[in-house]
Each structure stands twice: as structure tokens, then as C-alpha cells.
Homo-oligomer: A and B are copies of this chain.
């Protein structure tokens, strides 16, 4: 049940992007430097978020990325799902239908997975990016590069 580096780096990058792209587009190399993430790898993560409609790109010199909508309209869930795919703990074909996989019409554990899924989504869909940006400004007012001692 671990989030991969995609989700971990991606959310950090997105908070960074939201924080620093208000005046001008932010480049991958900028984010990568501040967050201590490989440029080439981050490139791929941002591409996923672009595909999901969370960020817009401006090509060419002095280009970069900006949010595609306001930070208040982008949830942690949007970000994580764009990178990790669905957050559901078990990929169950019969998840949203009644005809389950067992003889008598549904497997027991399905309801467990669904409950976990619901609670994860409930949580991540109610945390918006603007909140985290405010928090980031409080914790790191001057925008120093973030030292990573833990691997989150």
C-alpha cells in the first residue's frame, strides 16, 4: 500500500509549481533543483499531470509550466490519481457493478476494498493545493531548496 515516487515527487512538484508559477511559468529544472528530484524523471511526471489537465505548458525559451486551473480547484486526489492511476487498493472489475465474482453474486472482500477506497478518496479529494501552498510558505518562507532527509 505504498505510494511510489511518482506520487510523492509529483505532489511535491505540484505544490512547488503552484507556489512559484503565479507570475511566470516555472521550468522543470527550477522545480527539480528546489525539490532535489531528477530533471529527466520529473519531466515524465509533469507530462502525466499535463495529460490529466492539471498543468499547461509554454514551450520554448523562458517557457515552463503553469497550473491549468486555480490551486483551489486542484485536489491532492487529482494529482495523485494523475500519477498513480486509481488509488483503489484492489483493482476489482466488478467494483461498481452488482454482479460480483462469486457464485452467489459478490465477494465478501469487495466491500472491504470499496470502503478503503472511499475513505482514501474522501480524504485526498478534500485537500486542495492552495492549502498546501499556504502551508509551504509558512514552513519555508524564503523558498530555499528543500533538504530531503527523509524519502517522502
Which residues on A are within 8 Å of B, measured CB to CB? 1-3, 7-8, 11-12, 15, 76, 80, 84, 87-94, 100-113, 115-116, 119-120, 122-124, 127, 132, 135-136, 139-141, 144, 146-152
Contacts and interface: CB of A to CB of B under 8 A. Distances in A.
Contacts of A108: 12, 15, 132, 135-136, 139
Nearest to A116: B123
Contacts of A152: 90-92, 101, 107, 109-110, 113
5 nearest interchain CB pairs? A101-B150, A101-B149, A119-B123, A3-B89, A92-B152
Q: How many copies of this chain sit in the oligomeric assembly?
A: 2
A151 B91 contact: yes
